[in-house]
Structures are given as structure tokens and as C-alpha cells.
């Protein structure tokens, strides 16, 4: 099944590319890195990219999107989730908790979905803990519909307890792009974090 990963920043996209290139049996990768756009421009570009990705003429099976920050990630994901709810695509949200609790992030998404899609009956359902390690927590979230059949798929949250840079030991002020790339690759070392990603994303 095709997969879409929603993330905060461009470095997340680069890391996901390294992960799928290493472990996916047939990675056909596409990406969207959203820069400094207005909210309307961002949502329009995002919708167009997803529509193209899910179209029958598209050869890609992996789409990783950078939303240019956590507020945009929450806003953009909450906007498109209704259209994706019944599509045969696996949905993942890669987010930095910055030492906060994952429950707060889930509650924020829940409230945004409730407000935006109130008229359609779409809502966030049960949340189940999947896996955890020192660097990350993974949770599975169901989607429900008060007014008809429940959606076919929910989504999975992959939450860094702090952030990707901390997990990889990246110093954004000191490390050049080559050093950052090496440190991102070093996360895929067969350890507990690497195993969590493989068990959740593959």
C-alpha cells in the first residue's frame, strides 16, 4: 500500500528518504517541501500534490511532506485528513514533541479535526500505544464517522521525544550538510530506534 508521511521540516524528509532507500523493497519516492507560503497557498499546493500522488497515472508509492513547522503540520494534516480517510493509503505523522507529552499533540489534532470537519461527522477515535524507545513514541489513531461507515484507515504518529536533531546528535550551527547527512544515516544502525521505525513504517 502507498504511504504518506507528514513531517515538520526538510531534514525530516531527508531522513525518511535515507530510511526508505535502505529498507523499502521498491522505493518510488516523491516529496513536497513547503516553504514560506500563505495558509491558502500551502493548503492548495498540498492538496494538489496528494491528488497527484494518489492518481492512477502516478508511479510513486512513497510521499514524504515537510510542512515548514509544527503549527503548519497540525493545520495541514487536519485539513487533508477527511479526503484521505477513505483512501487506500497508509498515513504517518512524524513530529517533534520537544520534551512535551504526545497526548497534548493528539488532543490538538482531535480538536482541529472536530472543528474543521464538524459537519461531516469525522472525528478522532481510539488511540493505541504501539511502540516506544529512548528517542521515540509510536501511537496508532483510529478515525470514526458519526454519520456513516467508519473510514477504512486511521493514521500513525511517530513522535520524537525531543526532536530529530537531538536523536541524531546534530548541531545545526556547527555541522555542515555532509556531517548532518552522516549523522542522520547513523540513526539507521539496527538499534532500538531503527527497529521501531522498521516495525512501524514497513
DSSP state at residue 123: E
Evaluate whether 31 touches 65 at the Cβ level (below 8 Å).
Answer: yes
**DSSP codes of every residue in 140-179:** EEEEEETTSSPPS--EEEEEESS-HHHHHT--TTT--HHH
Average pLDDT score over residue span 124-136: 97
Please give the distance of CA 198 from its chain centroid, rounded to a whole number. Answer: 15
Predicted local distance difference test score (pLDDT) of residue 86: 87
Side by side, the strands of the sheet bearing 29-33 are 29-33, 62-66, 2-7, 89-96, 155-160, 136-145, 122-132
* Average pLDDT of the chain to the nearest whole number: 93
The pLDDT tens digits of the residues spanning 13-23 come to: 999 999 999 99
Average pLDDT score over residue span 27-51: 83
The pLDDT tens digits of the residues spanning 91-129 come to: 999 999 999 999 999 999 999 999 999 888 899 999 999
Does the pLDDT value for residue 151 go beyond 90?
A: no
CA distance 165 to 144: 34
CA distance 9 to 95: 9
Evaluate whether 137 touches 192 at the Cβ level (below 8 Å).
Answer: no
CA proximity to 124, closest of 139, 112, 138: 112
The residues, ordered by sequence, that sit 6+ positions from 138 with a Cβ below 8 Å of its Cβ are 129, 130, 131, 132, 156, 157, 158, 159, 196, 200
Q: pTM for the complete prediction?
A: 0.94
Query: For the chain, what percent of residues have pLDDT higher than 70?
Result: 99
Amino acid at each position: 500500500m502507498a504511504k504518506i508521511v507528514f513531517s515538520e521540516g526538510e531534514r525530516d524528509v531527508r531522513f525518511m528518504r535515507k530510511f526508505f532507500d535502505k529498507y523499502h523493497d521498491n522505493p518510488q519516492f516523491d516529496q513536497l517541501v513547503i516553504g514560506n507560503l500563505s495558509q491558502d497557498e500551502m493548503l492548495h499546493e498540498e492538496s494538489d500534490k496528494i491528488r497527484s500522488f494518489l492518481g492512477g497515472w502516478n508511479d510513486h508509492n512513497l510521499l514524504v511532506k515537510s510542512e515548514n513547522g509544527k503549527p503548519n503540520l497540525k493545520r495541514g494534516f487536519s485539513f487533508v485528513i477527511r479526503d484521505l480517510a477513505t483512501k487506500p493509503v497508509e498515513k504517518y505523522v512524524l513530529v517533534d514533541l520537544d520534551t512535551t507529552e504526545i497526548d497534548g499533540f493528539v488532543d490538538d489534532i482531535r480538536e482541529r479535526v472536530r472543528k474543521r470537519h464538524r459537519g461531516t461527522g469525522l472525528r478522532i477515535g481510539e488511540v493505541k500505544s504501539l511502540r516506544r524507545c529512548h528517542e521515540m513514541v509510536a501511537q496508532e489513531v483510529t478515525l470514526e464517522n458519526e454519520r456513516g461507515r467508519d473510514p477504512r484507515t486511521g493514521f500513525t504518529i511517530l513522535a520524537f521525544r525531543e526532536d530529530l536533531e537531538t536523536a541524531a546528535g546534530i548541531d545545526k550551527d556547527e555541522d555542515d550538510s555532509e556531517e548532518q547527512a552522516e549523522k542522520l544515516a547513523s540513526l539507521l544502525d539496527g538499534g532500538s530506534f531503527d527497529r521501531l521505525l522498521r516495525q512501524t513504517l514497513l
